[in-house]
Structure 1
Amino acid sequence: MEKQPAAPADPEKVDPAGGGQQPEYRQRETWANNAEFVLSVMGFCVGLGNVWRFPYLCYKNGGGAFLIPYAICLVTGGVPMFFLEVGIGQFMGEGGISVWKLCPAFTGIGLGTTVISFLLNIYYIVILAWGLLYMFHSFQSPLPWATCDNWWNTELCSTFANGTANGSAAAVKTDPVVEFWEHNILGLSSGIDDVGVPQWRLVLTLLLAWIMVYFIVWKGIKSSGKVVYFTATFPYIMLFVLLVRGVTLPGAKLGILFYLTPDFGKLLEAQVWIDAGTQIFFSYAIALGSMTALGSYNKYNHNFIRDCTLLSVVNSCTSLFAGFVVFSVLGFMATEQGVTVDVVAKSGPGLAFIAYPKAVSLMPLAPLWSILFFVMLLTLGLDSQFVAVEGFVTAIVDLYPQYLRVGRRREIFILVTSLVGFLLGLFHVTNGGVYVFTLFDYYSASGMVLLWFCFFECVAVAWVYGGERFYDNIQGMVGSRPGPWLRICWTVLTPLLTAGIFVFSLVTHTPLKYDGYVYPRYADAVGWMLALLSMVTIPGYLVIRLVLTPGGSLLQRWRTATAPVLEPHQLRARDRPQVPMYQLRH
């Protein structure tokens, strides 16, 4: 019989340097199929910011007119950076730190984004702890935040029926949903000076949230890639159900018109453009290392351009769609209370844990709608949380694969990461925890920090490594070159946009506030330390690298420090005769 040819070796397991099978620490997972990558990215990008931040920013900054700066920042900043991070992850096949072998002198970018990811993982999961507690309380009728007959209510509590405060002066009364949030859920203290002690129920829900995250990511993308089939799609089902319910409520039209009616005069205000830019970069989860990690699990020849185009459309359309869901219900709430929509419209936790719970308490079958809303909130938050944890873990594991990718060490490392995250998160579930949470949210993963990293990512890839060279790399992966727009953005438009918004943010910076409470100066100083903890890694690492790199002149050191460290198959065909220009990894 004719001898059959040997089956081709799996490129993921073959040692590029020769010698057959790769050692275990060199073997790296890839997505089981394209759907897992798409759903994982969609689940991470489409999160709470789409539901509780974008609609509020839209109405606050001119309604439909806000879509103009939003679209401009989208096509010149958010989308190009999204393509860039996924692309370099896939090209290098590395996590957020080691991916910068592409331009070693800028490894500080990877170190900094990993710090941001670590800080984000500590406080973002607290939202899940709050949401779980609300969901557990939703299994009773009437809803506990609908009445003033509970142990946490004060004498000032009033249901504000039909816009009145049960015959008393409304100005001195408080809504039961506010008292439920502040007194029952948070046990709110007077300020960040009075942190207090951890609230035992929030400690338990925080622990439950971390247990869920751990068992989602403990097997890497083998486990998380399966979970996203539910967590990434269920929120869309719930958004659609809540929209159908919302538009059938009295006053829904009032809320939707309030959401969309344009005020073009707002476009002359710098803050509108700052809000648009920061929202874009945050909603696309840029500069966290997670997009790079997700892209790194793609096969080398995967068509990420196609997927990123689809995901960009889905992300932005979800934000618009969520606005209709939110403001149809807020319009109903305003009509029921006899006030204008701007009185009930809130952002962030205020929307998720005050405005929307109040609205569902006014609906028939209130417990059902409350349960559905918080289940949706949990799936949105859970998706973002476990992908962020996966991004952090991937960055560290890829940095030390010989130690952490062997045996069960990766699972143990994830367990340690989860335990440390839980313990540090206890500061966020104290009596003053919401003040600590707001401080972390505003500074550690804020718009200014993300803009800083986006600027340097563009500089490193487009100006130091070379935008044209990276276009060649993309062609080598997907078989065709993108149009010139991405390169123009990476080289000119995105750096200008990020630098401009960054400067405006610094100039217009005001002391941090939470619901009227102004943070003391020392708290703002701590916040800036959180921001600088990640930001200084870029110039700090660059200086250290140049000092330690052998060579004569500074120019020679620069060339050596910025030379890409690539696999042989990653070199362009026309570069192969000039291999000394590179540092080969094998």
Structure 2
Amino acid sequence: MTETANSGAQRQTWTSNRGFILAAIGSAVGLGNIWRFPGVAYDSGGGAFLIPYLIALVTAGLPILFLDYSIGQRFRGAAPLALRRLTKRAEVIGWFQTMLLFIISVYYAAVIAWALSYFYFSFGNKWGSDTTAFFLSDYLHATDEAGVSTDLVAGVAWPLAAVWVLIIVILALGIANGVEKVNVIGIPLLILGFGALVIRAVTLPGATDGLNALFTPDWGALTDLNVWIAAYSQIFFSMSIAFGIMIAYSSFQRRRANMTSSGLVVGFANSSFEILAGIGVFSALGFLANQQGVGVGELEGLTGPILSFVTFPAVISEMPGSVLFGVLFFGSLVIAGFTSLVSLVVGVSIAVQEKFGLSQRTAAVTVGVVSAVVSFSLFATTTGLWTLDTVDQYANNVGVVLSAIVMTVSVVWVARKGDLLRRHLNAISTFKLGRWWLVLIGIVGPIFLTVMLVQKVIDLISDGYEGYPDWYLNVFGWGTVGLAVVGAILFTVASWGGRDDKDFQAWPSDEFLEGQKR
């Protein structure tokens, strides 16, 4: 389905608001919801963490999500084109976001390949009794230390190839026939599958111990600044905001779509799934602790890839009906990761398509093939785990946070478009935004994000990361951020061969919005 824009160009649209909401939820609900939130909550005050978490959702997550929605829906483009139409100087911010999407997608695909492999391994618990040795040595063939290797790991390469083939096909089919259908099918399956897993987990012996460990509140944690930073970090990273995804997705929304109400559904659905994941994960961890005769806090690997590919296989091996539990868990990882990966690559593909005037299929194949080559070269090798860990740390904690700060400050304080975007949303939505929204995206959000960024940069400079060599961190850590900056500049100075913004007219018109009651 397409719509005719004021400029005369045709643009695809979601077939329904439901399709957009499911796609946005599919982007937000990813691997981090399952393997990051439970561990962060446990380390940050347990049940007390929900207070700063919900405050962060209301004061930063939803407001910045609305900002992404307003830019994409009003200016009808992926991040580079939409921000260029907002103010020409902001195009470089859009390309910085697009470069981050590319960088994150090439390693995110590798994690989905791991999950696909473990989905197969679930039939018969093929990881054996030593799940750590199986993951690191038998499956990944990981080197003992960080380095650079060109030795491909077949067990990663084959499922990785399948992931990229599917991605290219889905993008080539377009927004309505490809991206939307994947999410319309995938998200209900994810909810049903993970819901069944949680129901099974809470009935296991020791599940109550796990839930007590997660939700028993440590009220003293609320006076710790790091707990609040952790809450804002979790909301920020889990909602796919401020680095181009939601700008691209909302650009395919119909012009009269109710954007703020959709945003509320997406935001609260994402947080609800995180809490559901916390219940399921810690119920299972309580069971494992019970079987081993230790406390939950004595278990190793309570977050990240180690939780999913070392600790959880150990849980599955101990429980009755282990095959079904394994299939549900790793199947959920595959679906959650894949719908998020689709959104990452869409942001890149549409940006390239618009900039260079390519057809939808040409852009999809070009971006998909280039991404796959990089993905294989760096993350399907015997050093792929260490490279992935390093790139992820710097791309997310430095690159994405920097992107959010620069975008919010540029829109609100430099371009002075914040109030225009507020009135745009109010003109088409039932949930109205007051001037408090400008305070949140222009002051509260940037302050917390800046504190997060400064703290992380200081830590990385002074302490390094995971004991990796300095040269390695400079190449794959700081080099990742540098690559995003250089790529953003090069794409910005390239000539526009596709959709030009000269004849574009936003709807409703600026004159109409200026005349609205403030």
TM score, norm. by length of structure 1: 0.81
Q: In the alignment, which residue of structure 1 is the partner of 2:312?
A: 356
- What displacement does 1:285 show? 0.7
Measure the CA separation in 2 of the matches of 1:278 and 1:76: 13
Q: In the alignment, which residue of structure 2 is the partner of 1:387?
A: 343
Q: In the alignment, which residue of structure 1 is the partner of 2:70?
A: 87
- What displacement does 1:530 show? 0.8
- What displacement does 1:322 show? 0.7
The answer to whether structure 1 residue 504 and structure 2 residue 459 are counterparts is no
Measure the CA separation in 2 of the matches of 1:469 and 1:320: 35
- What displacement does 1:487 show? 1.8
Q: Deviations over 1:417-437 (max 9, x none)?
A: 222212111221211110011
The answer to whether structure 1 residue 208 and structure 2 residue 192 are counterparts is no
The answer to whether structure 1 residue 56 and structure 2 residue 39 are counterparts is yes
Instruction: Kindly provide the amino acid, as one letter, of the partner of residue 53 in structure 1.
Output: R
Instruction: Kindly provide the amino acid, as one letter, of the partner of residue 142 in structure 2.
Output: L
Instruction: Kindly provide the amino acid, as one letter, of the partner of residue 145 in structure 1.
Output: W
Q: In the alignment, which residue of structure 1 is the partner of 2:484?
A: 534
The answer to whether structure 1 residue 460 and structure 2 residue 444 are counterparts is no
Q: Is the 8 A contact 2:147 2:472 kept in 1?
A: no
Q: Deviations over 1:149-181 (max 9, x none)?
A: xxxxxxxxxxxxxxxxxxxxxxxxxxx111111
Measure the CA separation in 1 of the matches of 2:445 and 2:401: 10
Q: In the alignment, which residue of structure 2 is the partner of 1:523?
A: 472
Closer/same/farther in 2, CA of residues 485 and 317 from structure 1, 3 Å limit: farther
Closer/same/farther in 2, CA of residues 13 and 131 from structure 1, 3 Å limit: same
1:441 to 373, 392, 398: 392
Q: Is the 8 A contact 1:123 1:425 kept in 2?
A: yes
The answer to whether structure 1 residue 77 and structure 2 residue 32 are counterparts is no
The answer to whether structure 1 residue 192 and structure 2 residue 176 are counterparts is no
- What displacement does 1:365 show? 2.0
Q: Deviations over 1:137-158 (max 9, x none)?
A: 2222xx12234xxxxxxxxxxx
Closer/same/farther in 2, CA of residues 189 and 480 from structure 1, 3 Å limit: closer
- What displacement does 1:479 show? 7.2
Measure the CA separation in 2 of the matches of 1:417 and 1:573: 38
Q: Is the 8 A contact 1:123 1:428 kept in 2?
A: yes
Measure the CA separation in 2 of the matches of 1:379 and 1:301: 31
- What displacement does 1:575 show? 7.8
Following superposition of structure 1 onto structure 2, how do residues 535-574 of structure 1 map, counting pairs within 5 Å?
Answer: 535=485, 567=505, 569-573=507-511
Closer/same/farther in 2, CA of residues 512 and 202 from structure 1, 3 Å limit: farther
Measure the CA separation in 1 of the matches of 2:77 and 2:188: 27
Q: Deviations over 1:105-145 (max 9, x none)?
A: 121210100000010111000011111111122222xx122
Q: Is the 8 A contact 2:96 2:487 kept in 1?
A: yes
The answer to whether structure 1 residue 108 and structure 2 residue 92 are counterparts is yes
Q: Is the 8 A contact 2:21 2:266 kept in 1?
A: yes
Instruction: Kindly provide the amino acid, as one letter, of the partner of residue 573 in structure 1.
Output: E
- What displacement does 1:270 show? 3.5
Q: Is the 8 A contact 1:108 1:537 kept in 2?
A: no
RMSD: 2.5
Measure the CA separation in 2 of the matches of 1:468 and 1:432: 48
SS at match of 1:12: strand
1:279 to 230, 234, 244: 234
Q: In the alignment, which residue of structure 1 is the partner of 2:498?
A: none
TM score, norm. by length of structure 2: 0.91
Q: Is the 8 A contact 2:24 2:249 kept in 1?
A: yes
Moved more, 367-376 or 191-200: 191-200
Q: In the alignment, which residue of structure 2 is the partner of 1:152?
A: none
Instruction: Kindly provide the amino acid, as one letter, of the partner of residue 421 in structure 1.
Output: S
Instruction: Kindly provide the amino acid, as one letter, of the partner of residue 136 in structure 1.
Output: Y
Moved more, 194-203 or 290-299: 194-203
Q: Is the 8 A contact 1:281 1:447 kept in 2?
A: no
Q: In the alignment, which residue of structure 1 is the partner of 2:366?
A: 416
- What displacement does 1:416 show? 2.2
Measure the CA separation in 2 of the matches of 1:300 and 1:339: 57
Q: Is the 8 A contact 2:64 2:241 kept in 1?
A: yes
Measure the CA separation in 1 of the matches of 2:284 and 2:354: 46
| Identity percentage of aligned residues | 29
The answer to whether structure 1 residue 470 and structure 2 residue 421 are counterparts is yes
- What displacement does 1:49 show? 0.7
Moved more, 73-82 or 192-201: 192-201
Structure showing greater radius of gyration is 1
Instruction: Kindly provide the amino acid, as one letter, of the partner of residue 166 in structure 2.
Output: M
2:380 to 429, 434, 455: 429
Q: Deviations over 1:247-270 (max 9, x none)?
A: 111100000000011223333434
Following superposition of structure 1 onto structure 2, how do residues 119-138 of structure 1 map, counting pairs within 5 Å?
Answer: 119-138=103-122
Q: Deviations over 1:26-75 (max 9, x none)?
A: 21101111111000000000111111000000001111122232223222
Instruction: Kindly provide the amino acid, as one letter, of the partner of residue 336 in structure 2.
Output: L
Measure the CA separation in 1 of the matches of 2:221 and 2:89: 42
Structure with the bigger percentage of helix? 2
Measure the CA separation in 2 of the matches of 1:286 and 1:339: 39
Instruction: Kindly provide the amino acid, as one letter, of the partner of residue 424 in structure 2.
Output: N
Instruction: Kindly provide the amino acid, as one letter, of the partner of residue 450 in structure 2.
Output: A
- What displacement does 1:95 show? 0.9
Measure the CA separation in 2 of the matches of 1:434 and 1:404: 34
1:328 to 283, 293, 317: 283
- What displacement does 1:488 show? 1.8
- What displacement does 1:346 show? 1.7
Moved more, 563-572 or 176-185: 563-572
- What displacement does 1:290 show? 1.0
- What displacement does 1:574 show? 5.5
Measure the CA separation in 2 of the matches of 1:575 and 1:364: 61
Q: In the alignment, which residue of structure 2 is the partner of 1:376?
A: 332
Measure the CA separation in 1 of the matches of 2:23 and 2:156: 28
Following superposition of structure 1 onto structure 2, how do residues 292-303 of structure 1 map, counting pairs within 5 Å?
Answer: 292-303=247-258
Following superposition of structure 1 onto structure 2, how do residues 236-315 of structure 1 map, counting pairs within 5 Å?
Answer: 236-315=191-270
Q: Deviations over 1:419-475 (max 9, x none)?
A: 22121112212111100110111112x123222111222122222233222222223
- What displacement does 1:12 show? 2.6
Measure the CA separation in 2 of the matches of 1:11 and 1:219: 14
Q: In the alignment, which residue of structure 2 is the partner of 1:180?
A: 134
Moved more, 524-533 or 295-304: 524-533
- Structure 1, gaps ≥5 residues long: 1-9, 148-175, 546-562, 578-586
Measure the CA separation in 2 of the matches of 1:135 and 1:479: 43
- What displacement does 1:274 show? 2.7
Q: In the alignment, which residue of structure 1 is the partner of 2:82?
A: 99
Instruction: Kindly provide the amino acid, as one letter, of the partner of residue 186 in structure 1.
Output: L
Measure the CA separation in 2 of the matches of 1:62 and 1:433: 33
Q: Deviations over 1:399-420 (max 9, x none)?
A: 23xx313xxxx21321222222
Closer/same/farther in 2, CA of residues 564 and 61 from structure 1, 3 Å limit: farther
Measure the CA separation in 1 of the matches of 2:507 and 2:52: 41
Closer/same/farther in 2, CA of residues 568 and 28 from structure 1, 3 Å limit: closer
Measure the CA separation in 2 of the matches of 1:471 and 1:226: 31
- Structure 2, gaps ≥5 residues long: 495-500
The answer to whether structure 1 residue 490 and structure 2 residue 403 are counterparts is no
